[in-house]
Homo-oligomer: A and B are copies of this chain.
Amino acid sequence: MLRILVLGAAAGGGFPQWNCNCGACRKARAGDADAVSSHQASVAVSRDGEHWFVLNAAPDLRQQINDTPALHPKHGLRGSPIAGVVVTNGDVDAVAGLLNLREGTPFSVYGHERVLRVLRDNSIFNVLDRELVPRRELPLGRAVPLLLADGKPSGLTIEAFAVPGKVALYLEDPAKKGYGSEPGDTVGLHIREDESGDSFFFISSCAHMTPDIAARLQGASLVFFDGTLWADDEMIKAGMGSKTGARMGHMSMSGSEGTIAAFRDLNVARKVFVHINNSNPALLSDSPERRELEAQGWEVGVAGMEITVPDTGVRVAATAGRAHAAGGHARATGGRAEARIGITVRQTRR
């Protein structure tokens, strides 16, 4: 069985975003139960509940660990249940959190060579001693074992695959095609438990659906997917920026080319949006857009959400990163209950 904990579901900048005064961010700051504050997108996965792998190192990772008892050290004076961190691209919201994991505890960093090169080119990441924190390359399209901190197999394997995307913002080269983007700059992940074959996908950035990705996802038990925007031009219309979703490397939830439409025939059992921008109205649990995506069988990720594969029911706990982030909201489809929850309420249904 796989246990997956959502550590955050917001896009780069988080929710609320430090410099954003939009209605949604104001609501989040005010503690509105329909606008739950969220760290940047990341999930942790374990098969035994003792050793965990974190997918994407959000800048919020120190706080995400603080908020997640499963990730607190349990044994000895120093140590961590975190055996590895997998980074899916070189953007700040996927790699900056590595800087929180200094202080001499061993684990592994997994990433595609294009992203590992970014870490190599930025000396600040040398704060993680390479002797203690080896960097392990994820080739495209080949499953590799995830290792425990002592180098032994964890019983999980991971396969990275190229998804349409974009090189990290700070590495864009306007003179080059696709701003210098190459395959491997953005990857999707398929995590599988060797013994049972249980698996799920984590794709926090994806510019458009391809036949290859569709074939991979067909019939999946669980997919976390890029939920940056509701509509491609929503940031422009809101006056928040000049870029479309497509320009930023993200497909939108809605529309004929959108994610909801693209998943309609994929027969995925559980579909959870992560990497949701503060401009996306579906972030608000009382919005028509939220109702629409839920009616289409989608969920919106929230910190503290716990999902198992195989699915044993709903398990949600909103861990409040801030004292006034007092409400969480989850709606599960397919006969599961609708839960509206406070700081530590936990609902389990089998």
Interface residues of A (CB under 8 A from B): 12-14, 16-22, 25, 29, 37, 59-63, 65-67, 71-80, 92, 95-96, 99-105, 118, 121-127, 168-171, 238-241, 319-323, 343-344
Contact of A74 among B21, B37, B240, B319 (CB under 8 A): B21
Q: A21-B79, A72-B29, A123-B170 are in contact. Are A103 and B62 (CB under 8 A)?
A: no
Contacts of A240 in B (CB 8 A): 77-78
Q: A123-B121, A124-B124, A127-B170 are in contact. Are A13 and B96 (CB under 8 A)?
A: no
Once the chains bind, are A21 and B73 in contact (CB under 8 Å)? yes
Once the chains bind, are B77 and A20 in contact (CB under 8 Å)? yes
> In the complex, A119 Cα to B240 Cα: how many Å?
27
Copies assembled: 2
Q: A29-B66, A122-B122, A323-B343 are in contact. Are A59 and B100 (CB under 8 A)?
A: yes
Contacts of A323 in B (CB 8 A): 319-320, 322-323, 343-344
Once the chains bind, are A322 and B67 in contact (CB under 8 Å)? yes
Once the chains bind, are A12 and B102 in contact (CB under 8 Å)? yes
Contact of A18 among B12, B65, B125, B127 (CB under 8 A): B65
Could you show 9 A-B contacts with beta carbons less than 8 Å apart? A12-B102, A18-B73, A19-B104, A59-B99, A60-B63, A63-B63, A63-B321, A118-B124, A121-B123
> In the complex, A68 Cα to B238 Cα: how many Å?
26
Once the chains bind, are B37 and A124 in contact (CB under 8 Å)? no
Closest Cβ of chain B: how far from A94's Cβ, in Å?
11
Main secondary structure of the interface of A (DSSP, over half): loop
> In the complex, A329 Cα to B107 Cα: how many Å?
36
Contacts of A71 in B (CB 8 A): 18
Contacts of A103 in B (CB 8 A): 12-13, 17-20
A75 closest partner in B (C-beta): B21
Once the chains bind, are B62 and A62 in contact (CB under 8 Å)? no
> In the complex, A323 Cα to B317 Cα: how many Å?
13
Contacts of A99 in B (CB 8 A): 59, 92, 96
Q: A126-B170, A170-B127 are in contact. Are A19 and B105 (CB under 8 A)?
A: yes
> In the complex, A271 Cα to B12 Cα: how many Å?
38
Contact of A66 among B16, B72, B96, B171 (CB under 8 A): B16
> In the complex, A127 Cα to B241 Cα: how many Å?
15
Contacts of A238 in B (CB 8 A): 77
Contacts of A96 in B (CB 8 A): 59, 96, 99, 124
> In the complex, A19 Cα to B106 Cα: how many Å?
10
Q: A12-B102, A102-B92 are in contact. Are A77 and B22 (CB under 8 A)?
A: yes
Closest Cβ of chain B: how far from A8's Cβ, in Å?
11
Top 8 closest A-B pairs, CB basis?
Answer: A21-B73, A19-B105, A126-B170, A127-B170, A122-B122, A320-B323, A19-B80, A96-B99
Once the chains bind, are A92 and B124 in contact (CB under 8 Å)? yes
Closest Cβ of chain B: how far from A133's Cβ, in Å?
12
Q: A59-B62, A78-B240 are in contact. Are A73 and B170 (CB under 8 A)?
A: no
> In the complex, A96 Cα to B60 Cα: how many Å?
11
A326 closest partner in B (C-beta): B323
Contacts of A170 in B (CB 8 A): 123-127
Closest Cβ of chain B: how far from A201's Cβ, in Å?
27
